[in-house]
Amino acid sequence: MKFRIALLILAATPLLAAEFQSGQAARAVLGQSSFTSREPGVKVQSMAIAGTNLFAADSSQQILTFDLSKIPDARADFSTRGTTGCGLCGISPVAITHESVLPGIAAASQWGKTVAVVDSARHRVLIWRDSSSPSANLGPDVILGQSDDSNQIGPSTLIDPVSVALDGKRVFVGDAALHRVLVWNSVPAAGNQPADAALGQADLSSSSLAENPAPDSIVQPAALVSDGTNLFVADPASQRILVFSPGDLSLNPHSFLNSASLQFGPLAAGTLITINASGLSDTSINAESANAETANPAPLPRRLGNTEVIFDGLALPLLSASPSQLQAQLPFDLEGRTAASLYVRTEHSNGAITVTSPLSLRLAPAAPGLFAFSGTEPRGGIVLHAGQPADSAAGAPVTDESPAASGEVITVWATGLGAILDGNGGASAIAGVPFSGPPAPTAIPVTARINGQDAQVLSAELPKGSIGVYEVKILVPGVHEPSGQLSIAQNGNASNVITFSLRSPAAQ
């Protein structure tokens, strides 16, 4: 067993073993500058690992050598590393040799005495559990895929197996027709044994082809190889090599929420996000108390309560950490990415380190959420009277006792409004750092609706001193209801709906 965590009994968590999960994302990518880029890259057909080097033979008759020591371990501390770009992308080969290599390495794998061979013509994989045994001459011990004659896709289905890999414990089989890699967390003991997980698909019954590259998508798993911990998947159709790592804990994709809307969905640059799960931290702490201890109120720490949120190889700024919830901010410089890989790393009080299985986050130029009080949806919004400077109500909360009125300007607060316009004081928005410039308008216009009517947005800005929270001023249209329902939208993405009190027309 090569996983350090497998035999540790954690003080706050049960016995854990790092495993691969269906639908998880890759942790690193070779050959592309991001998980979603389509740059001319590598079209690898076969791979092998020797020492700390990965040798990849591509279709242009060259062998690329990658130094695997340049890829930090999943349990490495990322809080002191870079803060921009993609920290686990675009890793370049240390050598390129112009030599052709015969195909076939991808169709066979050996680890110790165990041998696995792909039989693509018959849609199956043959496994000899002990190739040194005299019985090995009589044929394979296990045949996968042979007896699955159903028309439905399942955990035993093999349609076009093209690659196989062993890691001393697991078996991996790449299926080009189903755009996935099946994972058996232990070497199968019986024919047609169902797989435990599928990489490249959300579950063991899916077979969809992703429209765009993402950390959790595979077009063609042409070659597989493992170093005993990480699985390297050559995807020549996407001109990249994906690096999948097992996790000690699994996360639900719907665990990642916009902190204002509390909704799952695409997330935009600079968004404040909330992660809900269990076993995320041993303690409860927020950034204010952490900074008070260090007498340094800013910027936000990238490690809080011995916990980190790793986003494309970068540790995100953290607002709070607890055993069941983390709050963080996404980077502003997403460089056109449409998806990213995210996982959580935790150092426990007994010294053990756990990581979650990476998941893919969908990214959008803007995905607004409005801040509101707790409760059932639609929740009561955090709404202020904007008024005029001489107005005594300016800046006061909108309440049942002090409702808003038609023709009045109100202020609401949001996150997920994305990039700001350049040239306004020369300040740039940096994740985790209070914005230093004068109020900067959003790059993508914001629209609003109140009780089904269009409402004029007078301004939508990132205020000075703000960390990911935008201020939006809206003119209340002529409405005749005693309460208002407000939502905003950008680039076709609508926010949650919040409610606020309105003065009845008779009282105005």
User: Residue 220: pLDDT band by 50, 70, 90 thresholds?
Assistant: very high
Helices (H), 253-409: 287-294
Q: Which is nearest to 181 in space by CA: 129, 127, 221?
A: 221
Nearest 10 degrees: Cα torsion 267, 81, 288, 341: 20
CA 268, CA 493: separation in Å to the nearest integer? 11
Q: In DSSP terms, which residues pair with 171 in a beta bridge?
A: 166, 184
**Average pLDDT over every residue of 157-181:** 95
Which pLDDT value is given to residue 200?
A: 97
Any residues with CB less than 8 A from the CB of 153 and at least 6 apart, and which? 178, 204, 205, 206, 207
CA 426, CA 424: separation in Å to the nearest integer? 5
Which pLDDT value is given to residue 426?
A: 62
Q: In DSSP terms, which residues pair with 276 in a beta bridge?
A: 325
CA 125, CA 117: separation in Å to the nearest integer? 6
- Reported as a single tens digit per residue, the pLDDT across 85-127 is 888 998 889 999 887 665 666 788 999 999 999 998 889 999 9
Report the SS3 class of residue 467.
Answer: coil
pLDDT at 62 over 90: no
Which pLDDT value is given to residue 82?
A: 77
CA 84, CA 417: separation in Å to the nearest integer? 19
Q: Which pTM does this prediction carry?
A: 0.89
More confident residue, 258 or 395: 258
Q: What values do phi and psi take at 105, rounded to 5?
A: -60, -35
User: Residue 131: pLDDT band by 50, 70, 90 thresholds?
Assistant: confident
Which pLDDT value is given to residue 186?
A: 94
Which pLDDT value is given to residue 147?
A: 57
Q: Give residue 93's Cα distance to chain centre.
A: 25
User: Residue 402: pLDDT band by 50, 70, 90 thresholds?
Assistant: very high
Q: In DSSP terms, which residues pair with 498 in a beta bridge?
A: 379, 486
Any residues with CB less than 8 A from the CB of 188 and at least 6 apart, and which? 127, 142, 144, 171
Which pLDDT value is given to residue 263?
A: 95
pLDDT at 389 over 50: no
